[in-house]
Amino acid sequence: MGLDLTALSRQVRQMSQSVAGTTMSAATRVSVATERYAAETGAEADWAGAVDLSRESAAWLFARPVEPLSTARPLPAIPGVYQLVATDGSQIDLDRHGDAAYYVINIGKVFLRYGHRPTARLTSQPELYFRDEDLYLSDGIRRIAIEGNYLSARRDVEEGVALAELADEYLTDDIPSLALQDGTLVRWSLAGAERFVQERFLARYLSYLDALRTRNIPTASYISRPRSPEVIGTIRLMFCPDVDLAAGRGAKCSACSDVAAGRDPSCRICDGLVDADVIGRQLSEGQRGPIFASMSKINVEAYGDHLIHFFHLRVGRELARIEIPQWVARDPELVDRVHAIVYDQAGRGDGYPVALSRAHEQAVVRSADRRALQRMLEGSLIRAEAGGSASAKRDSKEFSRG
């Protein structure tokens, strides 16, 4: 039996009513948070200091302001001629109930040139991982399986490496260039990993950023409908009664003075809000908001000169988050190039960058592809007289689908 929609219908109505009530409450809190944020324009250095003081002691994420909080930069001139490369990836996860241990990463790769002699190159690069060194990370003592978050991290690394290779193959130095990815440049999936795991993945990941920096090719990522609360984290500090820059004191959630006095924490006004709720109110079509540095632990501790910054960009009804390394953020010309080309790409792609749409199409692994690969592997294992056997759980699922 499938999903019983009749049984769920009453719960769906209850959820709709709850969401409507929450939306009205959130709108009021967004207004209060936005007013406080706007009032602090001009005090960016103070709040950057408050972030530094509070980063270790507060219980939430922060964004460090780099530009005036009121920034609403208009769309720069879009180059008549430009080129870009883009990658996206998908995977076939490790199946421990299958005939053999393996996973697949498929990278979609795109090169586009506009203007004089327009050109497009769309390809994909699948890779089968099955060797012991593909399946495990080891520091000589421990062995950690590459699956779940670590497999996602491996795919992210391969996307970045492929992006740098594409840039070397196709991008020339005579016209404006951009290297573009989907999703975040901050490797959140590694935040809680052991040090040797972080270093193993990040060494290759940061090397691709090094390669693009050497050629002065700005790299950026596009996050559609972002839900990040990092700017909101900084706004929380604006409501915190314990922040005192003169005394060198930041927020300390474990000793909140509001809680000690029997009051609800003042920062609770920000609960459930995201950055786009506030930044979106100051941006018109094509405008970008202020640049912030993401103060996530792995970003601050591991990225060095590639410290990931971000800004928001108004694209139709959507507010996208654009992430860039520090060396791009510090170069106004490169920031303008990212701003203009990403917006143009989104316009050509009905609200989402067309290069990323094409890269996704090249990368996606469909159900039919998975089944065909499974049959190919089973046949090859039998011919090599290395045929294992799937688990009873897997056989049971296959039988039930039949």
| Identity of residue 29 | R
What is each CA distance from 120 to 85, 133, 197, 222, in whole angstroms? Answer: 10, 36, 37, 20
Reported as a single tens digit per residue, the pLDDT across 326-350 is: 999 999 999 999 999 999 999 999 8
For the stretch 167-173, contacts whose Cβ atoms lie closer than 8 Å and that sit 24 or more positions apart, written own/partner, are: 167/85, 167/211, 167/212, 167/215, 167/217, 168/211, 168/215, 169/111, 170/83, 170/85, 170/111, 170/121, 171/83, 171/85, 171/111, 171/215, 171/217, 172/83, 173/215
| Identity of residue 307 | L
| Helix, strand, or coil (residue 294) | strand
Please indicate, yes or no, whether residues 138 and 190 belong to a single structural domain of this protein: yes
Place of tokens 């009873």: 392
145: domain CATH number?
A: 3.30.2170
Main-chain dihedrals φ then ψ at residue 337, nearest 5 degrees: -65, -45
pLDDT at 192: 84
Quick one: which of 169, 158, 164 has its CA closest to 180? 164
* Close Cβ partners of 256 (under 8 Å, ≥ 6 residues apart): 242, 265
Please indicate, yes or no, whether residues 125 and 143 belong to a single structural domain of this protein: yes
Q: Sheet with 177-182: list strands edge to edge.
A: 63-65, 292-294, 308-315, 318-325, 219-223, 177-182, 82-92, 103-114, 119-129
pLDDT at 255: 87
Residue 206: inside a domain: yes
Q: Hey, CA dihedral for 89, 94, 97, 100, is it positive or negative?
A: positive
Residue 9: inside a domain: no
* Close Cβ partners of 81 (under 8 Å, ≥ 6 residues apart): 113, 114, 115, 116, 175, 176
Quick one: which of 103, 108, 111 has its CA closest to 130? 103
Residue 27: inside a domain: no
CB 84 within 8 A of CB 344: no
Please indicate, yes or no, whether residues 128 and 198 belong to a single structural domain of this protein: yes
What is each CA distance from 84 to 118, 135, 181, 279, in whole angstroms? Answer: 12, 33, 11, 28
Total residues belonging to the chain: 402
Q: Which structural domain, as residue segments, surrounds residue 386?
A: 368-401
| Residue stretches of the chain with pLDDT short of 50 | 17, 19-24, 391-397, 399-400, 402
The structural domain count of the chain equals: 2
CB 81 within 8 A of CB 99: no
Rounded distance between C-alpha atoms, residue 127 and residue 383, angstroms: 21
Residue 39: inside a domain: no
Please indicate, yes or no, whether residues 393 and 328 belong to a single structural domain of this protein: no
Report the Cα 127 to chain-centroid distance in Å.
23
Residue 382: inside a domain: yes
Please indicate, yes or no, whether residues 310 and 387 belong to a single structural domain of this protein: no
For 235, the enclosing helix (H) or strand (E) is: helix 230-239
Please indicate, yes or no, whether residues 381 and 314 belong to a single structural domain of this protein: no
pLDDT at 9: 63
Please indicate, yes or no, whether residues 352 and 384 belong to a single structural domain of this protein: no
Rounded distance between C-alpha atoms, residue 282 and residue 70, angstroms: 7
Please indicate, yes or no, whether residues 303 and 388 belong to a single structural domain of this protein: no
| Helix, strand, or coil (residue 273) | coil
Please indicate, yes or no, whether residues 352 and 396 belong to a single structural domain of this protein: no
Residue 378: inside a domain: yes
pLDDT at 386: 62
What is each CA distance from 138 to 24, 113, 141, 203, 366, in whole angstroms? Answer: 51, 42, 7, 15, 32
Tokens at 116, concatenated: 């004089």
Place of tokens 């103060």: 295
Reported as a single tens digit per residue, the pLDDT across 196-252 is: 999 999 999 999 999 999 999 999 999 999 999 999 999 999 999 999 888 888 998
Please indicate, yes or no, whether residues 86 and 173 belong to a single structural domain of this protein: yes
Please indicate, yes or no, whether residues 304 and 390 belong to a single structural domain of this protein: no
What is each CA distance from 234 to 36, 41, 254, 274, in whole angstroms? Answer: 11, 13, 18, 11
Please indicate, yes or no, whether residues 359 and 378 belong to a single structural domain of this protein: no
